[in-house]
Every structure is written in structure tokens, then in C-alpha cells.
A and B are shown apart, each in its own frame.
Chain A
Amino acid sequence: MLTWHLDRLVRSATLCLLAAVVITGAMGFVIKAGSDVSNVLGGLLVGALIMGVGGIVGSMGTTGFGALLFSFIASLANPGAPTLLLAGCVVVIALLLVDLSITLRRAPLIDRRVWIDSVVNAAVVSALGAALFGVAWLVGTLATWQAVVLPFGVVALGYAVRLAADSHTKRYRS
């Protein structure tokens, strides 16, 4: 019974939550290192802790608030494009980890494929996010395009959401 309790404490949900807080906290230090704005680290750590609290209470809303705070303070820190991309990847991975920790509460039996899928998801999302950012950065930094990219960007974003929603609705009806 003792081993079961230890197992419950140190595995799965607890580990996922700990990992989420640790990587966002570590990301806070990385952002602080690349930023000359003062008092950034405290805000970033508070954001990371709120995400952790959201995982403990099983509320994705609270976790989302922590992620929003973290992202906002990270953008204020002005650390540079690669660091912000890394921060974005960390936030997404932390969100996935908190979601997984909520799923894995009360020590269930866990299939190995769940772990493999989670790792693959994090890697694929990070890679795709980086590629997407690369394209956006390329377009955004072109001098001739800089003036037009913002309005086109808004339209493109809205259109993408519309397409995605339509696609979802069609499948839902099917």
C-alpha cells in the first residue's frame, strides 16, 4: 500500500505538473537573462505558479490565466524573437502538460502510447510553430510588406478561423 501511495505521489499527474511549473519557471530565467527590463522575473514566476495552481485544482481556466500573464510579461520584457518563440513553445507544452496532469489524476493505469503521443505532440507543435513563425517573421520584416502585412494579417487570421470552423462543422454534421 505504501508503494502504491509513493507511486501515486511521484508519478504521472504530479510529475507532469512539476514539469510544467519547472519549464515555465526556467523559461522565466531565460527571458530575464535576455532582457534589460527590471522586475520581469517575479511576474513570470507568478504566472508559472498560477499555471501550477490551475493544475492542482484541475482548472484549465486558472492555468490559462497564468499562461496569459506569463505571455504578457514575456512580451513586455522584450527579449528578442527567438526567445519569444521559445517562450511560446514552452507555454504550449506547459498547457499540454497541465491538461495531461488533470487527466492522470488519482493514479490511473497509463498506457505507454499516451506518453509517446504526448512527447510527439510537443515536438510536432514546437516544430510547426517555429516554421509558422519563420514564415511570419520573414513576411513581417520585409520593408515593402511591412505596411500591408498587418491588415492582411488580420484578414488572413479571420479567414483561417472561418475555414477551420466550417471544416469542424461539416465533420460534426457528418
Chain B
Amino acid sequence: MTPAERPPELIDATHIMLTGTRELRQRTPLFNVLTVLTVAASVGAMGARRPEFLGLVAPLIALLALGFARWRPVVGEVRLGIDAPHLVEGDEFAVLVEVDGGDEGLERVEIELKLGERVSARGTLRSVTSVAAGTTRHLAFPVSADEWGVGTIEQVTIRVTDRFGLFGGTVSRSANVSMRIGLAEDRLKASLEADRFRRVVGSHLSSDRGQGLEIADIRPYLPGDSMRDINWRITNRRQEPWVTLRHPDRSATVVVIVDAHDGESDARSTTQRRSVAAAMALARGHLSNHDPVGLLVVGHTVRWLPPRLGRNQLHRIADELISVSNAPDASLRMYRPPAIHNIGKETIVVAVTPLRDPLMVSLIAELRSRGNTIAVLAPEVEEEPPSRIPFVVEGRTSTLARRLASAEQAVGIQSLRAHGVVMVPWAVDEPVTAVIDAVRRLRQSMRRVTS
């Protein structure tokens, strides 16, 4: 086999054993129909004493006899994987299925895939094939990665019958194949090159208002210029003092905090996805302005990415946020992250959180008390649809608990506002750019008031 003919290697393969599967040892409807027809026609022929009627029944008997003679227990295995280790949005890849025929072969096999979120089929997801004994059949189903996140293949359905379709059955198994879909390179480039986010995200105060690193111009020394600005090389050449002028360094370190706590219901899961989208937009915007951006994910998991610059940092942030968007609801308890000590006092912090957990409120309050500039985007949670089950009466305890939690949340928000935290509620139908713009305007107005 030449390298060109060699089938691509399966990545993250899932194995499904067909050998010994009871579901594949059933009689099919075709067998039942043939049996009924054979018995009816045979009895009719004998009852009417008309041997020519056996002409009708002879092929049916032949088919049944062949079916019994050739029946073998199903032996085989199906392996499932993908052909690309790294995917980005818009990529087309193949879901590869290898059907191993075992010692007896599989005379008719149907494979059907069911895709999960973020991926879609580029053709049919069904295949009917036949696998000879001792060989392996390779199937490829074209699929495209539609959206950044973790895509999944939810289910694979395998139907195996014998050559005549008389015996066999169907098994459906969870595929357990997932793939991480990264952001497309052109989107990354666009977000890092364009300056449009500056208008949306807004200008922020520089952490260092003095000299930047970027050289703007040189000119002769004037009284009042700092001695540190003297350009000694040019001064030496021109035999008079010259100074270097620099652009002011307007970059600021930004840390985005994402509350990964929600997700136990559909509405909250949607809120979490919006939080992740907002965090990604913030990170892109600030990185496009050459601001170091860090990420702190808190909730059932704590993840900390120190502030850095560049496209690689955006990739890292996207990777971390992919994990958040698909995090299991392992725990409802939020833990205080130790990483907050790594957040500098000059750092601008933007938290995306519905502030449902008191620990999140205390975390933001602690950062604010250390002098950090903080803005909170609070995505509003979509109202849960009313229960479809009639006559379900909510317990008094749960009603009280909900009211208590709501009051606690309101107190927390009020307390943060009192400490100078910019609070921006984010309605369900409001675009993320509009709400980030609102943060900028509110922060500027608060700065005017305080100055």
C-alpha cells in the first residue's frame, strides 16, 4: 500500500464492539414475512392437492434455506474518529469510520451518524456497505466546523444484517467523539489589525502616563526637558543637546474575569455562552490595541492566564473559553481563586458575571478595595419557561429561597456600586458591542465626577 492509498489515521477514536451484541441477533421483518408466506402457500398447495402451487413457494423456501445456511453470529468492530487534529471555524474535515469485518465478514452494514452542536454535515451521514472477512472498510463523512467551541458527534447507529436481510439488528451508541474548533485565522488577523474596537471598547487610561517606548521624533533640547530624554548619540554627533520625543504609552493591562458558574439549565447555559462571547470580544478588542490581556475563569473550575500580548494570547484565551463553554456542571460551589494576588493594582478588570454568587461579589469587592478599576457586565438571565406539567405547585421553601437569593444579589450589586464599581446590566437581546460601549461611557462619566 502506497502512502497515497493509505487511509488517514483516526484521531481520538471510539471503539464499538459488535461481537456478541445481542441486539444484532434478531429476526428481521423480512424473515417473518417470508415465513408467513411460505407456510400459507405450502398449506394451500397441499390442501388443494395442486403441486404447481409449489412454484409460488419454492423460491421463498430457497431464500429461507439460504438464509439459515449462511447465518453466522456477528463478529466485528467499528472505530470512529476524525482526520484533523486541529480545527478552526469554517474548516471541512472528515469523520472517519473503520468497519472491521472480523473472521466472518459483515455482509450488509449501515452506519449513520448524528452530529451535535457546532458541526454540520456537508453531505449524507449514512452509508451502506459490505465488509469481507478479514478486511476493514474505511468510510469518510464530510463535516464542517461551523462555530468556535467544542463540536461533538453525538451518536452512531449501526445496523447489521446478513446477506439476505433475514437476521440482524440495530445498535445505537454514544459516539464520544469531540473536537475543539478554534477561531479562524482571518478573524484573528482582522481583530488584531483593525482599530475599530477602539471606538467600541473605548480608550482607557494609561498605566504609565509618562514616556512610552515608541520613538516619535527628535529635536534640540529646550529648557524644561528631562535629562533622561537626551539622545546622547545625536548630541555627540551635532555637538549640542538633542532630545528624543516618544509617543505616550497608552496601553493598559486588562484582566477579564468570566463567571463559569452557570450552566445547570438551558437559560443559564445561554447566559454562560453570552458571557463567553463578551469575554472573547473584550479580549480581542484590547489585544488589537496592544493591551496585555489576561483571563481569570472562576466557578466550578479556576483558570488563570497571566496578561500577555499578541495573537498567541488570543488563541490561548479562546482555548480556555472553549473549555468554559462546554464545562460540565461538576459543582455549584464557587471557590475563591488564589490568582487574584497576581492581578496588579493598575490593572483594569472587567468581570462578566450575573453576580448570583456572593463569593463573586466579594471577589470583585476585594479587587476594588485594592484600587483596581473594575467594570461588571451583568448578563440578565432569560426567564425560565413555565413548566409544562400542570398542577405543579412550587414549594414555599424554594420560593423563599429564590426571593432571599434575589435580595442578596441586589444587596451585593448595591454594595459594589457604592464602592465605585461600574455596573452595566446586559439585556438578553442587547448586542455585546452596545453593552461594552455602555461600560466605556459610564466609566468616563464616573471619572469626570471624581475629577
A residues at B contact (CB < 8 Å) = 4, 59-61, 63-64, 67-68, 71-72, 74-75, 80-89, 91-92, 95-96, 99-100, 103-104, 106-111, 113-114, 117, 121, 124-126, 128-130, 132-133, 136-137, 139-141, 149-150, 153-154, 157, 160, 164, 167-168, 171-172, 174
The reply to whether the CB of B128 lies closer than 8 angstroms to some CB of chain A is yes
Binds A, one of B57-65, B267-275, B287-295, B324-332: B57-65
Complex CA gap A172/B126 in Å reads 29
Complex CA gap A109/B126 in Å reads 6
The reply to whether the CB of B322 lies closer than 8 angstroms to some CB of chain A is no
Number of cross-chain contacts by CB at 8 Å: 175
A133 touching B66 in the complex, CB below 8 Å, given contacts A104-B128, A106-B126? no
B58 and A108 contact, CB distance less than 8 A:
no
Contact residues in A for B59 (Cβ distance below 8 Å) = 85, 88-89, 91-92, 125-126, 128-130, 132
Complex CA gap A117/B53 in Å reads 29
Contact residues in A for B25 (Cβ distance below 8 Å) = 172
In-complex Cβ contact of A87 among B55, B66, B110, B137 (8 A): B55
A117 and B108 contact, CB distance less than 8 A:
yes
The reply to whether the CB of B72 lies closer than 8 angstroms to some CB of chain A is yes
Contact residues in A for B110 (Cβ distance below 8 Å) = 103, 108
Min Cβ gap B311→A in Å is 36
A125 touching B62 in the complex, CB below 8 Å, given contacts A84-B55, A137-B52? yes
B53 and A84 contact, CB distance less than 8 A:
yes
Question: 27 interchain pairs (CB within 8 A)?
Answer: A60-B33, A64-B36, A71-B37, A72-B44, A84-B53, A85-B56, A85-B59, A91-B37, A92-B60, A103-B108, A107-B126, A108-B124, A108-B126, A109-B129, A121-B164, A125-B59, A128-B65, A128-B66, A129-B62, A129-B63, A133-B54, A133-B55, A136-B54, A136-B58, A140-B54, A154-B46, A171-B72
Dominant secondary structure of chain A at its interface with chain B: helix
In-complex Cβ contact of A137 among B41, B54, B63 (8 A): B54
What 4 A-B pairs have minimum CB-CB distances, sorted nearest first?
Answer: A140-B51, A129-B59, A64-B33, A108-B126
B37 and A164 contact, CB distance less than 8 A:
no
Within 8 A of A (CB), among B123-159: 123-124, 126-130, 137, 139, 159
